[in-house]
Amino acid sequence: MPEGGKGTEPPAGAGTSCRPDSRERTSTLAELRTLHEGLTRVDSTLIDLVQAEDRCRPRSGRSRTTPAPGWTKDTPMLARTAADLIEHVPSVFETLPFSAAELREQEEEVRLLGNIKFVAEKIAAEAGTALAAGKTRLADHTSTVVDAVRAHLINPLTPRAVKKQLDRHAAPLFGLLEQRNATIQTTRNGRAALRSEADEARAEAERTALENRVLRGERLPGQVTIAPATPPRKAGRRTGRTTRRPA
Q: Is 39 part of any domain? A: yes
In a domain, 241, yes or no: no
Reported pTM: 0.57
Instruction: Report which of residues 238 and 187 the model is more confident about.
Output: 187
Q: Examine residue 242 and state whether it is found in any structural domain, yes or no.
A: no
> Is 106 or 235 the better-scoring residue by pLDDT?
106
Q: Name the residue among 124, 177, 126, 127 with its Cα closest to residue 150.
A: 177
Q: Are 41 and 85 in a shared domain?
A: no
Say if residue 183 is in the same domain as residue 210.
yes
- Same domain assignment for residues 86 and 132: yes
Give pLDDT tens digits for 112-154: 999 999 999 999 999 999 999 999 999 999 999 999 999 999 9
- The answer to whether residue 143 is domain-embedded is no
Question: Percent of the chain scored above 90 by pLDDT?
Answer: 43
Examine the domain organization and report whether 83 and 131 are in the same domain. Answer: yes
For residue 120, the enclosing domain spans: 73-136
Q: How far, rounded to the nearest angstrom, does the alpha carbon of residue 21 sit from its chain's CA centroid? A: 33
Residue 7 resides in a domain? no
Over range 33-39, report the average pLDDT: 90
Tell me the DSSP string of 8-43: PPPPTTTT---S--HHHHHHHHHHHHHHHHHHHHHH
More confident residue, 97 or 27: 97
Residue 43 has pLDDT above 50, yes or no: yes
**240 domain-assigned:** no
